[in-house]
Amino acid sequence: MAQSPQRRELLKKLAASAMGASVLGSGALFSTAATGASSSLGVLKGNIRHSVSRWTYGDLSLDELCVLIKSLGVNAIDLVGPEDWPVLKKHGVDSSMCNGAELNLVDGWSEPKFHPQLIERYLTHIDLVADAGYKNLICFSGNARGMDRETALQNAVNGLKQILPKAEARGVVLQMELLNSKVDHSDYMADKSAWGIELCQRLNSPNFKLLYDIYHMQIMEGDIIRSIKDNHQYFGHYHTAGVPGRHEIDESQELNYAAIAKAIRDIGFTGYLAQEFVPTQKTKEGRAQSLAQAVRICDV
CA 254 to chain centre: 21
Q: What are phi and psi of 3, to 5 degrees?
A: -115, 155
| 275 Cβ neighbours under 8 A, 6+ residues apart | 50, 51, 52, 53, 56, 239, 240, 241, 249, 291, 294, 295, 298
Q: How confident is the model at residue 123 (pLDDT cuts 50, 70, 90)?
A: very high
How many degrees, rounded to 5, is the angle at CA 278 between CA 276 and CA 283?
130
Cβ atoms of 175 and 236 closer than 8 Å: yes
Count structural domains, the chain.
Answer: 1
pLDDT at 174: 99
Residue-number span of the structural domain to which 288 is assigned: 5-298
Q: Pick from 62, 127, 74, 75: which is nearest to 100 by CA? A: 127
Between 11-20, 56-65, 179-188, the lowest mean confidence (pLDDT) is in 11-20
In this predicted structure, the answer to whether residue 246 has a pLDDT above a threshold of 90 is: yes
CA-CA-CA-CA torsion sign (257, 262, 267, 268): positive
pLDDT at 147: 98
Q: How far apart are the first and last CA of the chain?
A: 30
Q: How confident is the model at residue 38 (pLDDT cuts 50, 70, 90)?
A: low
| 6 Cβ neighbours under 8 A, 6+ residues apart | 184, 246, 278
Q: What is the mean pLDDT of residues 155-173?
A: 98
pLDDT at 13: 42
pLDDT in tens, 180-222: 999 999 999 999 999 999 999 999 999 999 999 999 999 999 9
pLDDT at 41: 62
> What three-state secondary structure class fits 60?
coil
CATH number reported for the structural domain that contains residue 150 in this entry: 3.20.20.150
> What three-state secondary structure class fits 1?
coil
pLDDT at 260: 98
> What three-state secondary structure class fits 71?
helix
Q: Pick from 113, 122, 109, 97: which is nearest to 189 by CA? A: 109
Cβ atoms of 171 and 130 closer than 8 Å: yes
In this predicted structure, the answer to whether residue 140 has a pLDDT above a threshold of 90 is: yes
- In the chain, the amino acid numbered 57 is Y
How many degrees, rounded to 5, is the angle at CA 85 between CA 299 and CA 53?
35
Cβ atoms of 122 and 162 closer than 8 Å: no
Between 12-21, 69-78, 159-168, 221-230, the lowest mean confidence (pLDDT) is in 12-21
Helix, strand, coil percentages, rounded to 5, for the chain = 45, 15, 40
pLDDT at 39: 53
- pLDDT: which is higher, 117 or 19: 117
pLDDT at 21: 38
pLDDT at 22: 39
- Is pTM beyond 0.85? Reply is yes
pLDDT at 99: 98
pLDDT in tens, 67-103: 999 999 999 999 999 999 999 999 999 999 999 999 9
